[in-house]
Structure 1
Amino acid sequence: MILKELEIYSYKEKKVLNTYQFNEVGVNIILGEKKDEKDEANGVGKTTMIECLSFLLGEEVHAYYRTNKILLSKDILITLKVHSNDIDFFLARFINTPDKGYILWDKNIIYDLNDWDIYEDKDYKKKVQKEILGDENSDISFASIREYLLRDEQNGFIKDSLGISGRNATTENKVLAFLCNLPYNSETEIKKITKKISDLKDEQKLLSATIGKTIAELKSERSKYRSTIKKLEKDINSIDINKQYNLKATDYSRNKAELNNIQSDIFKLAHVKNQYQQNIENLQKKAKEIQALSDIEPFYEQLLGWFPNEITHNYEKVKKFYDFMVENRGSYFEGKIKNIDEKLKDLNKMKENLEKTLKSDYKILKNSSLIEDINTMIADREELNTKIAEINIQLGNHDRLKSITNDINVLKSERLTLTQKKTDEFNSYEQHIEGLEKLFQTLSELAYDTAGVFNVEFENNVNDRKNSITGRVKIECSLPDDRSHGINYMKLNMFDLTWFISSLEKEGGHNINFLIHDGSYSKPNPSVKAKILKYIDKKIKELKKGQYFVTLNKDELLKDDLDFFENNGYIIAKLERTKDNTKRFFGFKLYE
């Protein structure tokens, strides 16, 4: 995208207040002038102009502009004529409706917004991103790189860093690699595998903590319990009440068999119900035990001054797991218990009727001791079945641990393979990196007559740390004595100009055609700034593409250089304080 013309239009005054024509190829200087030495060049609108360009390119309109009464009273429309995909069209933001974006797909401007396409802020950003980056860079948003393309003096220049303050390190290095046309997704892709490994290891620790016995010990106990159950079942089935009480064999045998079947069904269902209830209680107990960790946090803080991160992390993992289980599996078990209760109600009614029949028919049976004996044996059997079920769960945990270990090994192998693939990919950029290094050195020698260092490395040291930077492309630049604010500022400028010129030279890279620098806190040597600007302009014009915008105060350049820039059309905006304020960026003051 080429930025062609910026215009300020007032609906209240029904006229264009100011127009700024840009050099479509080359350097564009936005100059702050003074009427005399005592005058101040700041506050005339240099930064305001850059901020408006940023709004037009998708950044949200700053609260200052949304609430500025003078600006709102004039009904200001800011338009930007651009060239993209072989056509001219206009982008616009109307200050009074800052959450909207406007696009006019025409080479001639019309001020009636009803003739423009109107977009919500989110959709407007997507349109701008597509025009600048195209459809191929779905994993890099223009929003993530916009502040690197429009560096502002307050946040964009940081000592000992090439990035922007407050940015996530992974994202920042990804953006810098992208701008330098280097592989930029390696760290992100490798981190995805490392996270899976980390999650499996957390589960592994949790399961290991619940297993107290070996597989051999568990299987031995299970065999012992099964043997005891067989003996109990044999004793239960061998009881013959007819012989003990000399009653009518046929009737009693039939009723006894039916009673035993019903009783067996009742205890089976009761056991299953107890298992479900125990599952719920165990989940609730575990959740309470995990919650107890929160209660000891103050104690840890008194003793240690801080709560161990690893404990906190594991607590969150485990608590989340058990909260999930209580909520989801608990509801499942409660539903099962409800169904069992209905069946038990019917069986107990049948049992009650049968017991009444037995008592009526066999008066000799004066108490329920025999039935109680049978019930006791059945209860013993079901208790053993419960223990066997618990053993099976632990054996299942052993199997899951084996599966986790295998999954971890597979993922580690995938990570090693991916890391090697990404290393080979990075190594294929050797000539491109040499070109970046050479260009940075050319700029540093031009500015300070000394060789600067532009270093690019690929981190291929594989480990399981959650903060691992495996796959990161690390870019560092340095100049002799770059602890000086002025030299450090120029180092950052030269880094940006290095990737910018390199990207203009490279075929098949990203499609970024402009770079904007908004001033500096520390003024470098005036002659240095001029040398760089002249070289960049010459380089861009040789390539026949590219726009470099920079804001400067008049005293940042030597007079001869200033005259050269003015005579050769470098200066596209001369902003200064005048009585009528027409030479300010908007054409009027934003404050009383």
Structure 2
Amino acid sequence: MFRHLRASDERFKSVDFHEGLNLVVADTTKESTETDTRNGAGKSGLIEVLHFLLGAKFERRKSFLGKEELRHIDFQLDLDWPTLSGQSLQVRRSLEKPNDIYLYPDITGSRLAPEGRRRVALTEWQQLIERDLFSIPNERRGISARSMLSLFMRRVGSNAFNEPIRTWPQQTLAEAGANLAYLLGLDWQLASKYRELATRESTRRQLSAATKDPVWGKIVGRSSELRGQISDVQQRVNELENQVSSFRVVPEYERLQTRADEIDQRIRHMRNEDVVDRRNLIDLEAAMQDVSDPDIDYLERVYADLGVSLPESVTRRYDEVRDFHASVVRNRRNYLETEASAVRERLAGREAERVQLGEEQSRLLRTLNEGGALDALTALQQALAHERALLESLRNRFEAAQTLEASGAEIKAERAQVENQMRADLVERDRIIDEISVRFREYALRLYGSDRSAYLAIEPTASYLKLLPHIASKDSRGIGNMVMFCFDLTVAVTAHRADRGPDFLVHDSHLFDGVDERQVARALELASEVADTEGMQYIATINSDDLAKAETAGARLQYSVIPPRLTDAYEDGGLFGFRFG
């Protein structure tokens, strides 16, 4: 239950709530003229502030509270909280920093000291509301506590009074049906499948239209082609993951790599030198074979054949020449043999060096093959991240392609299956549905008597779980609003009894527009009785003339009126105490 509502601006009119029926009245003043209006008194603004404090998203340019004059105001709400025994929870939220919510005491379940306020983000506050006010399980899809709160506190600005089931025009019937199924104790998980099917059908239609575009059609692709691409990329991802997991960073990797390159260049250079030396060795060996002593003996034979006798001096000179030539040949042969030996030594030396360098090169290559440099590991990780992103993109495209290729008949068949499952489940929950229907009919009969037929029909369709509250009428707006009143009261009581919803229900004065004063009186009396019986709180904003008419019709409501009494005084009569915007 709400207890106290206040603001940091002293002009704001604080509100103190109590159990049972709470009426916030907008009155006229003695100075009021025909041009004055109570539409700016702050009746709807009160509900907007309550929503703001209970986790509504805040868009400054769209919200009623987004006016510049309100920017520096903090609001605080004290309310009973299910997890606190005998102590109220204080919720504080600022229009200047709407994403920060301050709670006291700390209800987050953290190990922080409970002293002082606990600041939580908006999303965490919404999760706490889901957990404690609505007992929504962690594993939930298709239902929302914020959407449910819009049933317990309907907003005029969201057109929540257009119909009982939906609280804003863009809300799908499938989503509304899933939320109501949860509050009424039905199979909300089954009801939420309608929403999933509706989303799939909407996506299929959009993609089907988009594929007619030549560029977008290539982006989506065909599922058969994408499946092959996914398999290929997945293989690359697996290989890269194995490389990264087995990668070993080698210290001084660059130095080792440089040394390995130097060895390779040295071996190549020695091979070139070997080629030159082997050619030189061949030439030297050939030259040694061609080297021989000069033969001058044939001269004596030639002269003897001619009958010429050479003197001894000439013969001696021949011997000297022969000795000289023999010395030259001997020296050349020695030189050639020395050069050949040097070449052979160089070849042998390089071969030994090559063996040594080869062993060193093998060790370096083994080290380099077993690991790599840190930048190589980084490159591998970047490649892996790229392939993973590509894989995720392909999977998204694959899902989109599958959705696109799914035929309308397939979705239609699934809708029929959900409808049959929902129908079977409702049969099993027949007792619960009877209790809900009887409760709604009881409330409707309290307002209109037994002459009108009244019922709450719950039945599955192919698209959503249909809930149809009905009171027989001739399309009267006033009766339509009372249908909404009975429906909201039925949902609130049913949810509260099962600990699936809060113990309060708030209605704006717009709900009573066009309603006969007798029905207004009966509705407020009924709300008061139900709130007292169920241990709940019913809050309604109402204009003073409607209140007077209800009291004339026999309702005793003065004791339910709570301060402040709002007026149509232009400057300071409204809830905020000053005019803005």
TM-score, length of structure 2 as denominator length: 0.57
Aligned to 1:540: 531
Q: Is the Cα contact below 8 Å between 2:522 and 2:555 reproduced in 1?
A: no
Q: Which runs of 5+ in 2 are unaligned?
A: 108-114, 204-208, 237-408
Correspondence 1:68 to 2:67: yes
Pair 1:153–1:71, CA change in 2 (3 A): closer
Residue 144 of structure 2 is aligned to residue 144 of structure 1: no
Aligned to 2:565: 574
- Residue pairs, 1:19-98, within 5 angstroms: 19-24=14-19, 26-36=20-30, 38=33, 39-63=36-60, 64=63, 67-72=66-71, 75-84=72-81, 85=83, 86=85, 87-98=87-98
Residues 125 and 503 (structure 1 numbering): CA distance in 2 closer, same or farther, change over 3 Å? closer
Q: 1:474 aligns with which of 466, 469, 474?
A: 466
Counterpart in the other structure of 1:447: 447
| Deviation, structure 1 residue 30 | 1.8
**Residue 70 of structure 1 aligns to which amino acid in structure 2?**
E
Partner Cα separation in structure 2 for residue 138 and residue 181 of structure 1: 17
Secondary structure in 1 matching 2:560: coil
SS in 2 for 1:166: coil
Report the Cα distance in structure 2 between the residues aligned to 1:443 and 1:189, rounded to whole angstroms.
Answer: 31
Deviation at 1:431, TM superposition (A): 2.4
Aligned to 1:3: 2
Moved more, 87-96 or 430-439: 430-439
After superposition, give the CA deviation of every residue in 1:483-508 in whole Å (9 maximum; x if it has no partner): 2222212211211112223334x3x3
Q: State the distance in 1 between where 2:234 and 2:417 align.
A: 43
The CA distance in 2 between the partners of 1:523 and 1:195, in whole Å, is: 38
C-alpha contact (below 8 Å) 1:28/1:570 kept by paired residues = yes
Match of 1:99 in 2: 99
Query: Counterpart of 2:500 in 1: which secondary structure?
Result: coil
How much does 1:21 deviate? 0.8
| CA distance in structure 2 between the partners assigned to 1:191 and 1:127 by the alignment | 24
Q: Which has the larger radius of gyration?
A: 2
Instruction: Give aligned pairs, total.
Output: 387
Partners of 1:547 and 1:160 lie apart in 2 by: 20
**Residue of 534, 539, 542 corresponding to 1:549:** 539
C-alpha displacement of 1:328? 7.1
The answer to whether the 8 A contact 1:452-1:477 is kept is no
- In structure 2, the residue corresponding to 1:133 is in which secondary structure? coil
Contact 1:482 1:491 in 2 (8 A): no
The structure-2 alpha-carbon separation of the partners of 1:456 and 1:580, relative to structure 1 and needing over 3 Å to count, comes to closer
- Structure 1 pair 141–34 and aligned structure 2 pair: CA distance change class (3 A): same
How far did 1:132 drift?
A: 1.1
Query: Cα RMSD over matched residues?
Result: 4.4
Residue 13 of structure 2 aligns to a residue whose secondary structure is strand
CA contact (8 A) 1:28 1:572 kept: no
1:43 positional shift: 0.1
In the TM superposition, residue 8 of structure 1 has moved relative to its aligned partner by 1.6
Quote the residue 2:502 is aligned against: 512
Q: What is the identity, as a one-letter code, of the residue corresponding to 1:575?
A: L
The percentage of aligned residue pairs carrying the same residue is 18
The one-character-per-residue Cα deviations of 1:344-387 (angstroms, maximum 9, x if unpaired) are: xxxxxxxxxxxxxxxxxxxxxxxxxxxxxxxxxxxxxxxxxxxx
Kept in 1, the 8 Å contact 2:174–2:194? The answer is no
1:6-36 residue CA offsets vs partner (Å, 9 max, x unmatched)? 11223xxxx5843211123x12222111114
Amino acid across the alignment from 2:122: D
Structure 1: distance between partners of 2:566 and 2:195? 49
Which of 486, 491, 497 does residue 499 from structure 1 map onto? Answer: 491
Q: Counterparts of 1:329 and 1:40 in 2: how far apart (Å)?
A: 71
Change over 3 Å in CA distance of 1:188–1:160 after alignment to 2 = closer
Deviation at 1:166, TM superposition (A): 1.0
| Equivalent position of 1:173 in the other structure | 177
Match of 2:112 in 1: none
Q: 1:18 aligns with which of 13, 21, 38?
A: 13
Q: Structure 1: any 5+ residue segments left out of the alignment? A: 108-113, 200-289, 298-311, 334-407, 461-467
